[in-house]
Amino acid sequence: MTGCPDGFFFANGQKVCTKDSLGALCPRCNTKLYLEHAKEDAESRAVRSQNGVLCTGENIWLSAVRSAEKENQGVAQNVLRDMGIVTPLIPDAESMEGFRQLCL
């Protein structure tokens, strides 16, 4: 693996930059794909454990937006504008499914 700025890596000879050797996407080098994956994750999971901390779909999405804007603000803003509404899942004990969608 070869690194890009700030300790990121290129995995499997591809030009998809990852932030670590485990394959986490890089918000600086691949902002669009990073946000697309975060959107998919946030809209498909009501709760996820991240390093022992429970995260809601809302937390997943907002964290990804903050990271993308910090690492590549101009591209992140364009991607977010083009992406439109994001509807992350959040836990809801009162619904039959145990979660509900939140529009952001």
Distance of alpha carbon 60 from alpha carbon 65, whole angstroms: 9
In a domain, 45, yes or no: yes
Asked if pLDDT for residue 60 goes beyond 70, the answer is yes
Which residue has better confidence, 84 or 18? 84
Is residue 44 situated within a structural domain?
A: yes
Q: How confident is the model at residue 100 (pLDDT cuts 50, 70, 90)?
A: low
* CB contact set of 72 (below 8 Å; sequence gap of 6+): 27, 28, 31
**7 domain-assigned:** no
Range of the domain at 95: 27-101
Is 20 a member of any domain?
Answer: no
Count of domains for the chain = 1
Give the SS3 label for residue 55.
Answer: strand
Q: Classify residue 11: in a domain, yes or no.
A: no
Total-model pTM: 0.75
- Confidence check: pLDDT of 54 > 80: no
What average pLDDT score do residues 36-46 get? 88
Whether residue 52 is contained in a domain is answered as yes
Asked, for residue 9, whether it belongs to a domain, the answer is: no
In a domain, 21, yes or no: no
